[in-house]
Amino acid sequence: MVAEKQHIIIKGVKEGLVFLLDDQCEFSVLLDELQYKLEKTHQQLLTGPLVHVQVKLGERRLDEEDKERIRSIIRTQGNLMVQSIESEAENGTKHNDQSGWKVFTGIVRSGQTIEHDGDLLLAGDLNPGGTVICTGDIYVVGALRGMAHAGCNGRTDVIIAASLMRPTQLRIADVISRPPEEWMTGDSAMEFAFLKDGQMHIDKMTQLYRLRGHSTYV
């Protein structure tokens, strides 16, 4: 019965999957159908490598608690990672919100790419061969061993920070880091990369306040 209502359409796109949610039906119906589709009719989505999911709400507005209910259902299903939950009713402010964080939990493996418009926090490791690209800052709470590109739209005031900085390559705007063996120290814990006078520099996270001050980032 639930599957026949088709209040949720799942489409494959280049970046992963898009879940199109009906904005007219009851929210509880959406949640039931979402769980049903993932558990009963779309098991093939739950195998293989990590798949990024974009959730489109149409004109429906949801608070953070309800968005988290959607994330929880999707997050329990194997390899699916919610990249964004967007409402057309909120789009007027979305693109101008420079403080819009995205948090990804998991491991970015070789051959996988995460892209985001805004600041990004990866709670996990970025493995060699994996790539993270975003227009804002990149924070990796884990080991950064792959390629990270912050400020991909040309911003030069962004940083790339990691608990363990062992990248194959760092890039901020159009500036590419030197080969890692030229600048990596023995102690690469809690470091961040930034641009100064068009050159990329590495410093300890304890020095970030010198660049950013105390007001913007907490």
Domains 2-94 and 101-212 agree in fold: no
**Does residue 71 register a pLDDT over 70?**
yes
The pLDDT tens digits of the residues spanning 158-196 come to 999 999 999 999 999 999 987 666 666 666 788 999 999
Residue among 136, 138, 192 nearest 165 (CA): 192
Model confidence at 103, pLDDT cuts 50, 70, 90, reads: confident
CATH of 101-212, one of 2.160.20.70, 2.102.10.10, 1.10.540.10, 2.40.10.10: 2.160.20.70
- Given this model, what pLDDT does residue 110 score? 92
The pLDDT tens digits of the residues spanning 144-161 come to 999 999 999 899 999 999
**Does residue 97 register a pLDDT over 70?**
no
Rounded to the nearest 5°, which phi and psi values hold at 136?
Answer: -110, -145
Domain ranges of the chain: 2-94, 101-212
Q: What angle do CA 50, 55, 56 make, to 5 degrees?
A: 150
- Given this model, what pLDDT does residue 217 score? 34
The pLDDT tens digits of the residues spanning 3-39 come to 355 788 888 777 788 889 988 888 999 999 998 888 8
User: Is 213 exposed, middle or buried (CB count within 10 Å of its CB: 0-12, 13-18, 19+)?
Assistant: exposed
Cα separation of 155 and 174, whole Å? 9
Name the one residue in this structure whose structure tokens are 């590495």: 202
Average pLDDT for residues 58-69, to the nearest whole number? 88
Average pLDDT for residues 105-127, to the nearest whole number? 91
Say which CATH topology domain 2-94 has.
Answer: Transcription Regulator spoIIAA (3.30.750)
